Chains A and B, each alone.
Chain A
Amino acid sequence: MQHYEVVIVGGGPAGLAAAIEARKNGAQSVVVLERDRELGGILQQCIHHGFGLVVFNEELTGPEYAERFIDELMELGIEYRLETMVLEVNADKTIRAISPSDGMIEIQAKAIVLNMGCRERTRGAIAIPGFRPAGVFSAGTAQRFVNMEGYMVGKRVVILGSGDIGLIMARRMALEGAKVLAVAEIMPYSGGLTRNIVQCLHDYDIPLYLSHTITEVRGKERVEGVTIAEVDENRKPMTGTEKHYDCDTLLLSVGLIPENELSRGAGIQLDPVTGGPIVNEAMETSVPGIFASGNVVHVHDLVDWVTEESRRAGAYAARYVQNKLVEDASVIASRPGDGIGYVVPHKVRPENLNDKLAIFMRVKEVFHDAKLVVKADGEVVYSRKKRHMAPGEMEIVQIDAQKLKDLKPAELLVSVEGGETVHV
């Protein structure tokens, strides 16, 4: 049995930030366990620009963004193990992992930070009818083939879903000489960032069909074509609206799912809406001493916020190890109200807050000129008018910690008030 103060499960952007911050906050022995052959996670295949505007105030590529953290990790001398697959995380904070160089590894940690990230929803998850030929890829898998392996996945492409990876891949495929025929999105609004709609679709004359889905995949061996159709308000395809495309490739960007198989194994409570652990202000899960941050908790659209959240998780994990986290404290329940899909964190112990409490959330629909309001037992502690809010873009509110310490409310309720719901 090996012993560490803080074990970080996953060496992507979340794990790197958590590890660095744990060390900076006084944790002596920290180790990052990464299942892939290198650190950096999915950032390594995101060769486009757009990372780091919040954290570094400049635009970096994915690998560049990862490199900054990997460099810092090295400078701090933090231990990491590659090709190390964690098989089990237990509530007693033992971990079982394997790697080709070390074989079977058993670790007793004082604190664990879960940073496993997320995976893509598949064709099966949405049961697209038709044949099951080659040429149907999730957007992230296609991105890996193109950017990491150096292979193209098709010549004429239709994309289902307007998640950010799909939008990025529309541009990437077009730049590689493929013809991207259309992007179909079942919802009446895009699932991706507005800047990606503009920079990846509009700039390349790729049409986006909202309220459309795929009704058939043709081709027995390789994709030969797809049919898309408009959907009604119940998201059922309407006959007579079909459009047929001859194509050899269908990319799917239909959502991301936090990867919580290990969390489930440890008996950690999950939020059915986010698919990730229920966490408190310290990013600590329902199992004391096991923390979680990044896409394993809820899917982020900007890596910068993964970093911000994970820095907190790492810092609090270090405090936990040093018995500086107030466990026996008053707890505020943080809840989504009207118009809000979810909020993270779910629970807040004001005693542990520094100067601000950051609440991350997503709205359920597109809103124009609405107010984002946070009430502490009915008293407004935050209110801001927003010109535009969409489910594809995470919202963040910062609340003054002192206010919460003074008020000691039982509940924080986040709601959208006024404005208009927009159906594009």
Chain B
Amino acid sequence: MRYGPYNHFTGSRMKRGEMYDVVIIGAGVIGCGIARELSRYDLSILILEKEGDVADGTTKANSAIVHAGFDAYHKTVNGQMNARGNPMYDRLAAELSFPFQRIGSLVLAFSEEELASLRELIDNANVLKIPGVEMLAPETVHAKHANLSQEIRGALWAPTGGICGPWEFAIALAENAVENGAELALNTQVTGIQKTDAGFRLSTAAGGSIESRVVVNAAGVYADTIHNMVAEPFFEIHPKRGQYFLLDKAAGDIVDTVIFQAPTKAGKGVLVSPTVHGNIIVGPDAEYVEDREDLRTTGPQLDYVRQAARQSVPNIPFGMNITTFAGLRAESSTRDFIIGPADDVPNFINAAGMKSPGLSAAPAVAEEVVKHVGVALGGELKERKDFNPHRRPAAHFAEASPEKQAELIATDPRFARIVCRCEYVTEAEVVDVIHRKVGARSVDGVKRRARPGGGRCQGGFCSPRVMEILARELGTDMGDVLKDGPGSYILTGRTKAVEGGM
């Protein structure tokens, strides 16, 4: 297995064998959100992640929607956390500088039965006090959204629905947590948890051991496995795969708000939505899979997504597809989020079962978990005076005005060297995301942070340049640069001409 030569994220206390106050297992948007909330307090925190980067599981493959909150039932934890999480996004986006846009959402109804289910959603929204939710007549919808199907019978409008960059959000949370003292260990898989007098001893796949007073389980599709290492089993995670298309920016104006389909007995339907980067995302289907790493796309399911999406947007240009991908929802057998200590192990706190609307709920989930951590540690948590909620914003050359672009180039000529010609990502931006806290260590890591390779050529032109820059900045050979996680090597050796010294 090739790990890449630069896995230098690791906990310092972990190395010294000291005890942490809190260890968080899983560096997705839930785990990183919890870490960042906890980093407000005077605590020693370690985030453990089995993959080579943060945001590398469900967080990197989902619909990227910040749901308004009308959909999840008000008597569930899902419903309450979604309603609370959504309004928290504005402030978080301002503090942490990640892409978030409140573009509103529509749920389309194509039959009397579906209109009835929209009315139920409006009742649910009223209980949860979701602002501005209303039913629109087809004429009203078509007047604003010309590309939607003529077959619609009505639609639910929710102005507070939004879209975000989920992995940018999680990376920003992790970076801010680390800036405020939290530690992060990547490529570190937890293989066992033992109770000790003071708390827990966690063993890792690499043979290490880590001590902690409190453990937070944010392990996504593996949350049941982690839970069962130390507590009595009471839930199972059933990964439910969803497949997506991502269309070129040139298709970006086909819809300007999130388009859902009314939930029916057959399922939740597929969505068509702009992304924060100006693309169009289409999906997902829903299919239970056995393997928790089964991120395959399949021909029949992609066909299903195409057909289902055309019901909402008949002329959707699938010819402009730039990539397809699949994500796994961490669906719990309890059919709801599981937030709080295990009944039999009070200092082991679950944040599990985070299927949709997990992303929307993440900020509220983090607050909830902090309360439980406070209780577990025996009282009020002490706030740090030097907590800095702000993350240094990254400059995005492509989005800057010509004047601002000239300014950027004047400060650093590497802003004038375009690495990715599809997304106009500059060398300065690539170098920045490598050297930030929780910096990129792989081609996909750079792509998630700065977007080279996220455009229509999918890295065809820029991947050699990105690899060259990674190798240079990290002091390694280009041949050792990985696509993403351990084992994802790109190059297999030198050519004969180079080997032979020609």
Give residues in A with beta carbon < 8 Å to B. 35, 83, 85, 87, 96, 98-104, 119-120, 122-125, 127, 129-135, 138, 140-141, 144-146, 148-155, 176-177, 215-216, 220-222, 237, 248, 264
Contacts and interface: CB of A to CB of B under 8 A. Distances in A.
Interface of B: 245-246, 250, 293, 295-299, 302, 321-325, 402, 405-406, 409-410, 413-418, 421, 424, 456-461, 463-464, 468, 478-479, 482-498
Contacts of B405: 98, 104
A150 B494 contact: yes
A245 to B, nearest CB: 17
Contacts, number: 139
Given A127-B302, A134-B483, A134-B484, 11 more contacts: A85-B424, A123-B458, A125-B321, A127-B245, A129-B302, A132-B295, A141-B460, A151-B494, A151-B495, A221-B488, A237-B299
Interface majority SS (helix, strand, loop, mixed), chain B: mixed
Most buried by B among A85, A100, A141, A222: A100
Most chain B beta-carbon neighbours within 10 Å: one of A104, A124, A215: A124
Given A124-B246, A131-B295, A85 B418 contact: yes
A124 B246 CA distance: 8
SS of A interface (majority) = mixed
A221 B295 CA distance: 11
Contact of B409 (A35, A103, A134): A103
A124 B460 contact: no
B322 A133 contact: no
B472 to A, nearest CB: 13
B460 A138 contact: yes
A222 to B, nearest CB: 6
Contact of A124 (B299, B322, B464): B322
Contact of A150 (B296, B416, B497): B497
A98 B417 CA distance: 8
Nearest to A132: B325
B464 A141 contact: yes
A104 B324 CA distance: 36
A153 B485 contact: no
B458 A122 contact: yes
A101 B409 CA distance: 10
Given A103-B416, A129-B298, A134-B483, A123 B494 contact: no
Contacts of A154: 492
B486 A152 contact: no
B79 to A, nearest CB: 33
Contact of A151 (B298, B402, B491): B491
A152 B492 contact: yes
A10 to B, nearest CB: 11
Nearest to A236: B299
Best-surrounded residue of A146, A215, A220 (most CB of chain B within 10 A) = A220
A98 B489 contact: no
Nearest to A135: B490
A212 to B, nearest CB: 15
A262 to B, nearest CB: 10
